[in-house]
Chains A and B, each alone.
Chain A
Amino acid sequence: MSGSRRRFSSHLVLSQAAPFIGFLASMVVLVAIVIFMRESPVKAVEAVYKFALSNAARLGAVLSISIPYYLSGLSIAIAFRAGVFNIGNEGQYFVGGLTGALAGIYLPMPAPLHIPVVVIAAMLGGALWALVPAVLKAARGISEVITTIMFNNIGLALVNYLINGPLSGMAKGVSLEPQTRKILPTALFGKLNGFFRSLGWKVPDYVYLDYSLVVAIVMGAVIWFLLFRTRQGFEIRAVGTSTDVSRYAGIKVQRVQVGAFLMSGAIAGLIGLQEIFAIRGFYTYNIASGLGFDGIAISLIAQNHPVGVVFSSLLFGFLKQAGYGLQLSTKVPNSVTYAIQGLMILFIVAINAVVVRAVRSMRRKELG
């Protein structure tokens, strides 16, 4: 019945509408705040446009900021799909970043080999930090929400200790920032800006469009394929939908969840790579924090879909860049953008609940 199939697809469009409506609604609130602060909305919009969208450099910056957001969102998405609430990707990326950096510092090898090796080392570190919560959940049913939050603190403290103590690479008098030794040049992430320029996109060299973009794209493709084309991915989605049905069907629920949890940790391990390998060239406790928690929102907005996460992470990148613009050219503080992010999630979740119900009842009616 092509008629009903068409209808199903129009439901599909509708069911994807929530993020857009939520975005628009939160933008309305933003404008209201701007007016409330006695700023001209026109000026604010202009600032946002100028700072986030007006030329290749600005767009490049948005893309650059979105890379760690994407990896973080992807990490959360794969866990969510299996019904695992991994709040620990914050700790996982601090630990994964460190193991990656160590491979970059202490394992000399030629560049074409070294870069994949540090990527794998970072993934192993992230997965390692997810291992204990994963096993505790599978074997003893202990809530991963609690254990991963605890492991965030443990991970951060451990990393802090290591780079202040045994792994400290500070040359006296150079910097007060505790840090490791410099990463070997063979492991550093080069930039793709030249490549983009050769395609006609004029991003200047100061924008960080580095190999981590490739890492993010590859990971997104791998996870998409895994989730929607493989048996393991099917089992992940089945478990996330109903552990009861999955168990009944012979799916080894615990094993699937541990697998997804470790994959989530491994991807989380990659979140810090851009800053460590492309921007700083060494590891420090002061790499950007909070990206792990942002991933939860990014994944939720995207309904835990690897393709959707592309858009929601770009949206977060845009908002961050727009926030800088607002702060510089208007009285609106940067922190307003965080409030807007929160509001947006609230809107999307609420609208989505309404839409899901509407679609379901429409389908029911169609089939009588």
Chain B
Amino acid sequence: MADALLELREITKQFPGVTANDHVSFDLRAGEVHALVGENGAGKTTLMKILYGLYRPDSGSVSVEGKEIAVRGPRDAIARGIGMVHQHFMLFPPFSVLENIVIGEEAHRAGVLSVNAQRSRIQAIMEENGITVPVDARVEELPVGLQQRVEILKILFRGARILIFDEPTAVLTPQESNELFRTFRALTAHGKGVIFITHKLDEVLAVADRITVIRQGKIVRTMDRAGVTKPMIAELMVGKPVLMEVDRPAREAGSVVLEVRDLKVRSPRGLTAVDGMSFAVKAGEIYGIAGVEGNGQSELVHAIAEGVEIESGEILLGGVNARRWSVRKRRENGIAHIPEDRLKYGLLLPFSLATNLTLGRHNKAPFVTRLQTVNSRAVRDSARRIIEQFDIRTPSETTPANALSGGNQQKAVVARELSAEPRLLVASQPTRGVDIGATEFIHRQIMKARTEGKAVLLVSADLDELLSLSDRIGVIFKGRIIREFTHEEAVREEVGLAMTGGKAGEEKAG
């Protein structure tokens, strides 16, 4: 192809036991945004690392503008005009924007920096691409969206014409994401090519010119944007039709499992975070908590599941006051908890997957014998069942948790909590950072728990998730439930308005 800026031909990369890339061919034209989508572990990152010189392919070739090249490292890549904006920024926060951009390429006279000479070049790049950043501000003072622009400027300054963005919107607000997409347009208008790695399908449809789907190391299809729909991409990614909407069998809610009365909780900093909250969750019901983050959600979850000290009020589990219960007692009485920060709280990373899958129940038969010794056979047997049932991808149950992929670590936590057969499931941001296949899976598992008669408290920042799963939604604002919706009443716009403390919400607040 004459106008191909970049061409990867028949790339194969094997790791012991896994073929991460299997004869992958991919090309990028000047002036286009080419989205590379696939689930966690599909091989996107490996492919980009090969392009960036961090891995050497077993076979296949890389050409830039028709010339075959060997990329031996990031320095090589950038010299060929390939630049990457990483998910985690590679910036020095206390340095100025200017310093961060020129770092490693500083102009100097006899060892004395004269970076000001480079200032005009940076200004020109900013103007050309419609990117504005205060050049003399320190990076740590900038919001995330602007920091990302510094990264973009950094690679443009080094002459990149092929820009790779690895999940760039994961850290951005919706407004910042839109800004970024405008930047994509400006870049491509000047003949550059953008590779956009993501698993957010709305964004793919919003910004991509072409879309390539990768699954289990193989390219499934490369297609033009025109005529492509969300379910189509999802199906190609997962390999089978994906139900974007979860089945909700009709079910009468049972008796009250969790009741929260007049709850007040202070945040770790001593501010009143939950301020007189009351609600109840019944058996066979999903109660969703909607709200802008920072309105008391975390403190509420901690008070219910983690036994964080409360200021006043009551937490009743099956009518019994659980206020003073330890975490262990809560677990023994049927509370399961999918924590918001699964990597910090969810897994003992150096321990085996099997051990992690029984954590929290490790003190109960059959996982301990009557003499309080560990019954490792029971632990492994149970783990094998959970791994199979929840489709966790791992070489074996004895693999340490830190050797699993991020998505599988998340799955492991969800699997463990659900397999504890709880009475009450507290799920905090259960699908944050999880890909489509796993999201659908987790949604179905939560719905299954509800249908089996468990009570579910679902706290999520994802309004679509709440709207599709919840039987009732309570909107939290400044530490109170200011409005409740039934599943039927809950309309996106109205719930959204209530989340900002809008008029419609205040009626019920008093």
Closest to B330 in A: A250
Residues from chain A with Cβ under 8 Å of B337 in the complex: 248
| B43, B46, B332, B363: most-surrounded residue (chain A CB, <10 A) | B363
- Chain B CB within 8 A of A238 CB: yes
Q: B330 contacts A231, CB within 8 Å?
A: no
Q: A230 contacts B372, CB within 8 Å?
A: yes
Closest to A250 in B: B328
The contact sample of 29 A-B pairs, CB cut-off 8 A, is A1-B396, A3-B17, A4-B396, A5-B398, A229-B373, A229-B374, A231-B362, A231-B372, A231-B373, A231-B374, A232-B372, A234-B374, A238-B359, A242-B348, A242-B349, A245-B344, A245-B359, A247-B327, A248-B339, A248-B346, A248-B360, A249-B331, A249-B360, A249-B362, A250-B363, A251-B328, A363-B403, A368-B20, A368-B41
Residues from chain A with Cβ under 8 Å of B16 in the complex: 3-4, 7, 366
Considering the chains assembled together, what is the distance between the CA atoms of A366 and B328 in angstroms? 37
Residues from chain A with Cβ under 8 Å of B345 in the complex: 244-245, 248
User: How many A-B contacts if CB must be within 8 Å?
Assistant: 101
Considering the chains assembled together, what is the distance between the CA atoms of A296 and B384 in angstroms? 39
- Chain B CB within 8 A of A252 CB: yes
Considering the chains assembled together, what is the distance between the CA atoms of A229 and B43 in angstroms? 39
Q: Interface SS of chain A: helix, strand, loop or mixed?
A: helix
- Chain A CB within 8 A of B125 CB: no
- Chain B CB within 8 A of A172 CB: no
- Chain A CB within 8 A of B434 CB: no
Q: Which chain B residues have a beta carbon within 8 Å of chain A's beta carbons?
A: 15-18, 20, 41, 43, 46, 306, 326-328, 330-332, 337, 339, 344-351, 355, 359-360, 362-363, 368, 372-374, 395-396, 398-400, 402-405
Known: A232-B372, A241-B350, A248-B327. A366 touches B15 (CB 8 A): yes
Residues from chain A with Cβ under 8 Å of B402 in the complex: 360, 363
- Chain B CB within 8 A of A174 CB: no
Q: B328 contacts A252, CB within 8 Å?
A: yes
Considering the chains assembled together, what is the distance between the CA atoms of A241 and B355 in angstroms? 13
What's the least CB distance linking B326 to chain A, in Å? 7
Q: A368 contacts B327, CB within 8 Å?
A: no
- Chain B CB within 8 A of A140 CB: no
Given contacts A231-B374, A248-B345, 16 further A-B contacts (CB under 8 A): A229-B373, A231-B362, A238-B348, A238-B359, A241-B350, A244-B345, A246-B348, A248-B306, A248-B339, A248-B346, A248-B360, A249-B331, A250-B327, A363-B400, A366-B18, A367-B17
Known: A3-B16, A245-B346. A250 touches B372 (CB 8 A): no
Considering the chains assembled together, what is the distance between the CA atoms of A218 and B127 in angstroms? 75
Considering the chains assembled together, what is the distance between the CA atoms of A294 and B363 in angstroms? 35
B405 in complex: contacting residue of A1, A248, A368, CB < 8 Å: A368
The 9 closest A-B pairs by CB, nearest first: A250-B328, A249-B360, A250-B327, A368-B20, A248-B345, A368-B18, A363-B403, A250-B331, A249-B359
Residues from chain B with Cβ under 8 Å of A233 in the complex: 374
| Per-residue interface assignment for chain A, residues 238 to 263, with 1 indicating a CB less than 8 Å from any chain B CB and 0 otherwise | 10011011111111100000000000
Considering the chains assembled together, what is the distance between the CA atoms of A246 and B396 in angstroms? 24
Q: B359 contacts A1, CB within 8 Å?
A: no
Closest to A232 in B: B372
Residues from chain A with Cβ under 8 Å of B18 in the complex: 366-368
Residues from chain B with Cβ under 8 Å of A235 in the complex: 362-363
Q: B15 contacts A368, CB within 8 Å?
A: yes
Residues from chain A with Cβ under 8 Å of B331 in the complex: 249-250
Instruction: Give A190-247 interface residues, CB cut-off 8 Å to B.
Output: 229-235, 237-238, 241-242, 244-247
Closest to A363 in B: B403
Considering the chains assembled together, what is the distance between the CA atoms of A249 and B351 in angstroms? 14
Closest to B367 in A: A231
Q: B373 contacts A367, CB within 8 Å?
A: no
| A1, A233, A252: most-surrounded residue (chain B CB, <10 A) | A1
Known: A250-B331, A252-B328. A241 touches B395 (CB 8 A): no
Q: A367 contacts B405, CB within 8 Å?
A: yes
Residues from chain A with Cβ under 8 Å of B17 in the complex: 1, 3-4, 366-367
Considering the chains assembled together, what is the distance between the CA atoms of A3 and B396 in angstroms? 12
Residues from chain A with Cβ under 8 Å of B374 in the complex: 229-231, 233-234
Closest to A238 in B: B348
Q: A245 contacts B348, CB within 8 Å?
A: yes
